[in-house]
Amino acid sequence: MRDGPKLLSMHLGMTGACLQGQEEAVRVLTEMVRGIQLYQKSKYNPERSPRDLIWQEGESRLYRIRGPEGTDAEENPVCVLIPSLINGSSILDLCAERSLASWLSEQGLNVYLFDWGDLMKEANDITIETLVCDRMVHAIKRLKSVSRLKNSTIHGLGYCMGGALSLGALSHEPDLFNSMTLLATPWDFYAGQKTLLHHVQFWAPSALSAIENKKYLSADQLQSLFAGVDPMLAQKKFSRFSKMDMDSESARIFVAVEDWINDGKDLPLNIAKECISDWFISNAPYAGKWFLKGKAVDPSTMNIPVHIVASPKDQLVEYDAALSIKEALPEADVTLPSCGHIGMIAGKDSIEQVWQPMAKWMKKHS
């Protein structure tokens, strides 16, 4: 039996506060609790795609996703999936019913999945610079050294923070990828309505103090931050889940997504401080003040095709924040799906509105 969702009492408390005085409060809370109980009792266990480990350094790993027989020919272009640091890489290979990694391999791409691993098991002083300039760069160079792939086009596909980290890697190693897809990737943290930014600015002083004391940022602290963006989100999704057929594909995908959310990772001291202070508070990437190995990360120097995927329905990485990178990359192609942040990976419209355009674009540039 699952013990999630994390911070259950907080979610129930926020929902109760939002519903205070409303006639339907009891009914809505009852539906929410029923949905939570159904999730906890679900016997569904998501299955990941078969894979082979081809590189490891510290906790970071690069896997080759085994595609269906006959789909991983040597001449096929390569796609490397790069996740965010905040949650695990499993969102990109979520379950048998909804796996971006598996689906891309079925489209004739040789797919590789980069996994940052458990950063809390790394040296205490590990930084974003180490992860980008050493880990990611080393992994892709190892991939490019594989004899059967030496003539292959290598596409990078970064999701959320993974896209920004990929831009950092490309600034350090301009020939790392032959093309780059930025899926829901933030760049200008001050763009748009700044909903998440305002929450971060309110939350940051106490969070940074706790980080200094504990020497890490807990996954629970991050969950509480994101929950504040939409206090009724837990109610809406679990109430919706309570009405699903528990044997349906939609229910299984829901369980897989919740498992991923509840498997959030703690972040070490330096990485947490860089993300909060440098990226959110100081807007360093957009301001040209994000430095790696002493060099400012400047996307305008990139000479490879770039595909920006940004959604007006994304509440975590607002459309304007994701599209802002086009100022530095005016020739970049843009796709505008009508999906939420996680919906671009796991939603009912993800394949048609997001995956298919990305695969078509990568094949065009292979």
Is residue 356 assigned to a domain?
yes
> Is 23 in the same domain as 67?
no
Asked if residue 3 belongs to a domain, the reply is yes
Residue 353 lies in a domain: yes
Residues 261 and 295 in one domain: no
Residues 55 and 168 in one domain: yes
Is 258 found in the same domain as 134? no
Structure confidence at residue 101 (pLDDT): 98
pTM: 0.96
Here the CATH number for the domain that contains residue 332 is 3.40.50.1820
Residue where a domain terminates, one of 265, 282, 310 = 265
**Same domain membership, residue 185 and residue 82:** yes
Neighbouring-strand partners of residue 64: 52, 112
Based on the fold, state whether residues 63 and 186 are members of the same structural domain: yes
Cβ contacts of 24 within 8 Å, gap of 6 or more: none
CB 139 within 8 A of CB 285: no
Q: Which of 220, 248, 265 is the last residue of a domain?
A: 265
Q: Do 57 and 95 share a structural domain?
A: yes
Q: Does 70 lie in the same domain as 186?
A: yes
Residue 165 sits in the same domain as residue 106: yes
Q: Is the distance from CB of 66 to CB of 50 less than 8 angstroms?
A: yes
Total domains in the chain come to 2
pLDDT score, position 147: 67
Per the structure, the complete domain to which residue 338 belongs is given by 51-192+290-364
The pLDDT value given to residue 23:
87
Q: For residue 7, what are the contacts with CB-CB under 8 A and spacing of at least 6?
A: 220, 223, 224, 227
What contacts 199, CB < 8 A, 6 or more positions away?
A: 225, 228, 229
* Same-domain status, 31 and 94: no
- Tell me the pairing of strands 78-82 and 154-159: parallel
Series of mean pLDDT values for 10-residue runs along the chain (366 residues)? 90 93 92 97 97 97 87 83 95 98 96 97 95 97 85 96 98 96 98 94 95 95 92 96 98 98 94 97 98 97 98 96 98 98 97 99 97
pLDDT score at 150: 78
Whether residue 206 is contained in a domain is answered as no
Is there a single domain that holds both residue 55 and residue 102? yes
Q: Mark whether 312 and 341 lie in a shared domain.
A: yes
DSSP letter assigned to residue 121: G
Tokens of 230: 């939409």
> 3-state DSSP call for residue 296?
strand
3-state secondary structure (DSSP) of residue 176: coil
3-state secondary structure of 128: helix
